[in-house]
Structure 1
Amino acid sequence: MLPEPLSTNLCSLIPGQPRPVISIFFTCDKEGKPLEKHEIKKTVIRSRQKLTYREAQDVLLNIGRNVSDSICKQIKNLFIIAKSRRIRRLGGAMYHVPIETDDDDFMETKEAHFLVEEFMILANHTIGTYLFRKFKNCVPLRIQQPPEPECVQQWLKSNEFIADLILKLQEVHPLPTIESERKLSVNNARTGRYNRVLMFQQHVWKSLLHAIGEKDLPTVMRILGCDEIHPFACLGLQEWYEYQENAEYKCSGDIQSKKDGSHFSLGMFPYIHFTSPIRRYVDIISHRLLHCALDEKKPCYSHEEISEMCHHINEVTRRAKAYQKKCRALNWGYKLRKESTVFHGFVKTVSEKEVTVVIPGHRNLPKESCTLQLNCLGSIKMPVFKEDKNDGRQILELQWKKRLYSHNGFAPITRQGEDKIYRVYPHIRAFVQQQNKLKQLQQVVIDEKNSQGKLRRLEKILFNGDLGHAEINLEEYMPACFRTETDVSSEVRKGTITLQSCDYSMTFNHGQVLALQMSAESVKGVLIPQIEMFDMTKNVRYCLLHVKDPIKYLEKYSTDSTKDYYHKPVDYIRTWKPLVEMEAATNAINIGTATINDVPVKFLSQRKENFHFEGHSWIREISRSTKFQ
């Protein structure tokens, strides 16, 4: 916020240079518990060394270079105190690992980040308490109202079996406004009977087993600690975020009670922003008030002035966050425009028009980027809805009739008769395990402090036969998987085509893992990420863009209007050929067409989108020797 001559020089703790500062002196034990009253003083600091997060992390890992022994010792002592305070403040939530951060280097330096974060929170709370006692009616508090009780109760009901297994929310009291004793904790998790199961992403589960086999505890902790890569925990956490009130600034003179001025997520009152005056104006306000308090002067701002500034800062902050959100989407859209990428999305809701998904690591995307439009999937019947008996959510079923072939004659082995409507296995990218297994794994993550002991206990739980073998998919306990096929085709293994069309259906339910290829489209001049293809099975894929706008993606729009009279044949061809091509592109989508998978192609140039394929198929009576552009 402040210009560079100030932020990088006069207001920066440059090594060897004296700088006037405000210091808070704490005397505490190794657990971070205060032994005597703290002191707030105006002091002068001469910094000995400036460290990056990476350098501080190296000190904590005993690989620090160019850092004196005395500084290393002080950093490690501070980390011991910070860790103890973090455990008391967050409980099991301290083991949560975020999937998206503002700092690309965060995962490699998270201990150093946590060290700074804990002392910043302590300083903000301490100064907030001091100022609130001195100037009760004119302190710019940082507040967050608790969510509406009705929303939380609905959330608890919908996420009955997963709410207590979300690491990010450990030790949270979700209903503080009605004095409820309910607390989210792994120890309170209901697991139900043996057949109460949860879905994991298949590749995530395999990575967990591999990490356990390699004795790689950091990777194990990242996998178990990242709620966002586990379907049900990710969706539960996403819903929780949607119910939360935005944090904002509010003048202490405008609050009616302690609850009205508390910060729900931090569980603190009073809390202010004080530690970053270089980049936040509200911190400068806090510093000015603190100088008045230390000098035994009247506050430099009135109640009305603080209220007006808080309102203005809130508005500016909202605009800045909205701008940042759009910038992130634009940046991701730019990357996807250069190269489409396949992501896994978790089904959030279903309706008559669409399936909405949550893409891990990208929860701030606009709604249109996370929506699978049903009218682009080409189903032949109206959607059918059923109710999930476990959580009361809607299950959507769609039915298709397609001609599906393969260049190499691929035909899946089916368990049903050839004249039946095949039900496609909906959880092909998931691995099902007992819910009680996840509960016990998380209890070890939170409770066991010894690294070797933690690995031994985690391995024992994973391969505990009473909880289902870790390498056996318990799909038989998922009703949606009963009597289903892993793939469908119009072909049979004998080599003769018995059906020109293949009838099949698939269900979409909460938490289902879908493979979605994403690209970006320009909307009003801005690149917006969008789903371009839904990969259902090896043999079934739906390109949404071709259905949405076949002319744009298969041909191009004509810009010449027709005439009553043409002087030359070439003029007639120039006008009508694009129109015929537009009609052909539209008919390719609207008229029933055949899909041939696994066709080998050879690109003629690295720079042009030209490719060539040759070959023939006597069985299918389709001869191919052509060139496409």
Structure 2
Amino acid sequence: MLPALLSGNLCSLRGEEERYAFSCIWTMTSNADIQSVKYHKSLIKSKAALTYERAQEIIDDSSQKGDVAESLRGLMKLSKVLNSRRLGNGALTLASSEVRFDMDWETKTPKKVMEKAHLDTHSMVEEFMLLANISVAEKILSEYPDCALLRRHPIPLKESYKPLVEAARHRGFEVSVESGKALADSLDRCKDETNPMLNRLLRMLTTRCMTQAVYFSAGTIPVPQYQHFGLACAIYTHFTSPIRRYADVVVHRLLAAAIGADDIGAGLLSQAKVQKLCANINYRHKQAQYAGRASVQLNVVRYFRGRQETCEGFVLGVRSNGIQVFVPKYGLESIIVLQTSAETTIDVEELCVRSGDVTVREFDRVKVRIYVNEKNQQRPRVELNLVKPAIPGLSVDFDLSSSEGLGI
């Protein structure tokens, strides 16, 4: 992020204060059909600065009748139409584990760790951000067909879906991977009333079967490959977050030149230079993902140091050396490693662990104890012990580095 003075003030909309912006403005029908699109350098004086939670409260409170409340409800209605339309085109609804920390800034230690809650207002904002990104991608591609900075999500190979297909099959469901629409529809059908978490776990597993979305320069690959598989759109870019992504800054420059609001640098008219820039942004994005995971791991360790807790978890995977457990309460994921034992066996083909009369299968609900192992002073780590069902010879090694994610 940029320094706080820029990211949280000068470059962000604030209630009742004027701020310069770059706007994508649509004229829409009540059914979210776009009649026209305009792009402007703009001056905005926002009526209110709201958190997602506060905006949701206003929408849900029928006694709220002001301009802000009515505008929010109108946006929510349009966003639901846009979302339904995207899903109808085959867009995927995936899942991942994300946590947030309530920090004690005096000691710089987390007071609380919690999984991020998803609200309808998150989806409302996301739909218009996606639409803006698509609209801007269309505009800059029309002006710069050989050097526009775009973002694509390649179609995954069918072989990469094998863990997902096998996991669903063992639970009595069939997942079709013939197309994005077939995949989305089959995931919608994978529901178990006795285990509401099953659908979410399958979507998390689907995320890990995906290829990574990447930036590229227009003109370097065939046009059909421009598509974004996860979003089910033919063209896409990043425009909406210039305070945290350099790609968006480049797109702003391209769009400003496309509408005659600014001159364009010679470097952005060179396909080779734009492609080299994209390669660097893709690399830096990957490194930022690693750093983000390491930050989460560090703060989870700091939170659990000196304490332990027993929580509900779910078996996200059965590996040749143990089971992978996901703890929804903390968005925590870890491998419980199986020590060799004559009594306990792992059946990777059947995705289960057997120990006497006890069988633990993929997606089963379990109870685990979470604590920090500080035997290695140089590398303290969060560990899980399986509490229920009890299986002898299980230990844990906490590692988030294998979690990929889609990175839309």
Instruction: Tell me, yes or no, whether TM beats 0.5.
Output: yes
Bigger relative contact order (CA 8 A; separation at least 6): 2
Distance 1:64 1:94 in 2: 35
- 2:283 is the counterpart of 1:315: yes
> What's the offset of the Cα at 1:382?
6.7
Q: Which amino acid aligns with 2:382?
A: P
In structure 2, the residue matched to 1:393 is 350
Name 1:525's counterpart in structure 2: 378
Say whether residues 1:83 and 2:91 are aligned partners.
no
Cα deviation code 1:176-195 (max 9, x no counterpart): 4xxx984442699599xxxx
Cα distance in 1, alignment partners of residues 347 and 97 from structure 2: 33
> Which of 367, 378, 395 is the equivalent residue of 1:515?
367
- Trace 1:4-403 onto structure 2 (pairs within 5 A): 4-34=4-34, 36-62=35-61, 69-90=66-87, 100=98, 102=100, 107=117, 110-152=119-161, 155-156=164-165, 158-160=167-169, 174-176=177-179, 182-185=182-185, 189=189, 200=194, 224=196, 229-230=197-198, 233=199, 235-258=201-224, 260-295=225-260, 299-300=264-265, 301=268, 302-343=270-311, 344-346=313-315, 348-351=317-320, 354-361=321-328, 365=333, 369-375=334-340, 379=341, 381=342, 393=350, 395-398=352-355
337 and 517 in structure 1: CA distance in 2 versus 1, 3 angstrom threshold: same
**Equivalent-residue separation in structure 1 for 2:284 and 2:154 (angstroms):** 20
- Find the residue that maps to 2:19 and give its secondary structure: strand
In the TM superposition, 1:513-592 aligns within 5 A as 513-522=365-374, 523=376, 525-531=378-384, 533-536=385-388, 542=392
Partner secondary structure for residue 529 of structure 1: strand
Letter in 1 for 2:296: R
Residue 177 of structure 2 aligns with an amino acid whose one-letter code is: P
Paired with 1:64 and 1:305, the residues of 2 have a C-alpha distance of 55
Aligned equivalents of 1:4 and 1:187: distance in 2?
41
1:499 paired residue number: none
SS of the residue corresponding to residue 370 of structure 1 reads strand
Could you say what secondary structure the match of 2:28 adopts?
Answer: coil
The answer as to whether partners of 2:317 and 2:351 remain within 8 angstroms in 1 is: no
Structure 2 unmatched runs, 5+ = 102-113, 398-408
1:565-592: per-residue Cα shift (whole Å, max 9, x none)? xxxxxxxxxxxxxxxxxxxxxxxxxxxx
Structure-to-structure mapping, 1:420-431, within 5 angstroms = 423-424=356-357, 426=358
Tell me how far apart the structure 1 counterparts of residues 167 and 393 of structure 2 sit (CA, whole Å).
Answer: 33
Q: 1:358 deviation in Å?
A: 2.6
CA RMSD of aligned residues (A): 3.7
Preserved contact between residue 316 and residue 363 of structure 2 (Cα < 8 Å): yes
Considering fraction of residues, name the structure with more strand.
2
Using the alignment, how far apart are the partners of 1:509 and 1:295 within structure 2?
60
Q: 1:156-189 deviations in whole A, cap 9, x for unaligned?
A: 35523769699xxxxxx8334xxx9844426995
**Cα distance between partner residues in 2 of 1:382 and 1:543:** 10
Amino acid at match of 2:305: R
| Partners of 2:67 and 2:174 in 1: CA distance | 42
Change (3 A) 1:190 1:236: closer
Structure 1 alignment gaps of length 5 or more: 167-172, 192-197, 202-223, 399-422, 427-506, 549-629
Q: Does the 8 Å CA contact 2:344/2:391 hold for their aligned counterparts?
A: no
CA distance in 2, matches of 1:235, 1:17: 43
Q: TM-score, normalised by structure 1?
A: 0.53
Whether contact under 8 Å (1:347, 1:509) holds in the other structure is: no
- Contact kept in structure 1, 2:91 and 2:232, CA below 8 Å: no
Q: What's the secondary structure of 2:241's corresponding residue?
A: coil
Q: 1:337 to 1:64 in 2, by over 3 A?
A: farther
The answer to whether the 8 Å contact 1:235/1:358 transfers is no
How far apart, CA to CA, are the structure 1 residues paired with 2:322 and 2:300?
Answer: 22
Higher gyration radius (CA) = 1
